[in-house]
Amino acid sequence: VAVIAVTSGKAAPGATTAVCALASVWPRGVLVADCDPGGGDVLVGWLSPWLAEGWLRAEVGVLSFATASRYAAGGTGEQLGLHTQHVYPARGVWLLAGVRDAAQAASVTEPGWGRLAEALAEVGGEGEVDVLVDVGRLGAGTPWPVLGCADAVVVAVRGSIRGVAAARTALRALDGRVDTARVGLLGCATRLDQARQAARALDRPLLAELPDQPAAAAVFSDGAPAPRGLGRSLLVRAARATADRLLTRALDGQPSGAATGTGGSR
Ligand SMILES: Nc1ncnc2c1ncn2[C@@H]1O[C@H](COP(=O)(O)OP(=O)(O)OP(=O)(O)O)[C@@H](O)[C@H]1O
Ligand SMILES: [Mg+2]
């Protein structure tokens, strides 16, 4: 039903961590599409223990899809299915593994990203599985077709002055390329008041916020061993609430929520 793209400016606010934390508690089937053109972090981060154990393969993913579909007129969900992997330890999660680095991303090429966007839109539109895309930092290599197919574009932002500055640059990059009504903010490693302040400064709706929880976050960013009670941690609880909110808004066709800019934590 929904394709939700998470992106950011510089300063690594926690976009990938958010995508993985959300996927781990997503209430429906979910495909995590790692489309960070700087190099995918999902497989070498959150899923690295399962990569090391040989459950997942790094060479099956964005690049293999782009290569295999290079003579096709467009991208389809069926084709994409050949390049996604079921993440057995995380129930209902599928992975489209990312590229190794920027050089590999370049060989995906613009038409390759275009076919991928078509395929992701088809998967998201079929209604059985939602798609969470990690688009990485916005910049020269950004896969714009993928952002174009998203029902909601979520910009990760930290509450610091530096974090807000980075998000402002990211929002400017989106301006004119992505419908503003689909763009909202996700406060990362922030308190609610900081996140609200950031949203006010950026004049965009705050969709949700994830608290500063280094130990729990390291599970999703680096595949660190899960601390005790991870499922009840503030981060995972906030991720559940965030998933529900994103889904509701994406299904409403109103991903950006209230247009007040101060955001609404419902
Ligand atoms: N909610 C959080 N609480 C505490 N630490 C966090 C949180 N979210 C992310 N982090 C930490 O911030 C660092 C950067 O996270 P992450 O790799 O997800 O950022 P990113 O925005 O994807 O960066 P990049 O632009 O390089 O892809 C990691 O060390 C991660 O553990
Ligand atoms: Mg990242």
Cβ(132) to ligand 1 under 6 A?
Answer: no
Percent of the chain with pLDDT over 90: 89
**Nearest alpha carbon to residue 135 among 49, 15, 52, 36:** 36
Question: Ligand 2 centroid vs 48 CA: distance in angstroms?
Answer: 14
**Nearest residue CA, atom 28 of ligand 1?**
221
pTM score above 0.85 = yes
Res. 89: pLDDT tops 80: yes
Ligand lying closest to the C-alpha of residue 12: 1
Of 40, 44, 49, which Cα lies nearest the Cα of 100?
A: 40
Q: pLDDT for 139-160, tens place per residue?
A: 999 999 999 999 999 999 999 9
Return the number of other C-beta atoms located less than 10 Å from residue 7's C-beta: 28
- Indicate if ligand 1 lies below 6 Å from the C-beta of 199: no
Ligand 1, atom 9: nearest CA belongs to which residue?
14
Output the CA 137–ligand 2 centroid distance in Å: 7
Tally of residues, the chain: 266
> For 166-201, how does the pLDDT look when each residue is reduced to its tens digit (9 = 90+)?
999 999 999 999 999 999 999 999 999 999 999 999
Ligand 1 center–CA 217 separation, angstroms: 7
**Per-residue pLDDT at 252:** 67
Q: 34-61 as b/e, with b when 16 or more CB fall inside 10 Å? A: bbbbebbbbbbbbbbebbeeeebeeebb
Is the shortest distance between the CB of 16 and ligand 1 below 6 Å? yes
What is the reported pLDDT for 263? 36
Mean pLDDT for the chain? 93
Q: What is the mean pLDDT of residues 93-120?
A: 98
pLDDT average, residue stretch 17-32: 97
213 lines ligand 1 (CB under 6 A): yes
What band does 257 get if pLDDT is binned at 50, 70 and 90? Answer: very low
**Mean pLDDT over residues 19-34, rounded?**
97
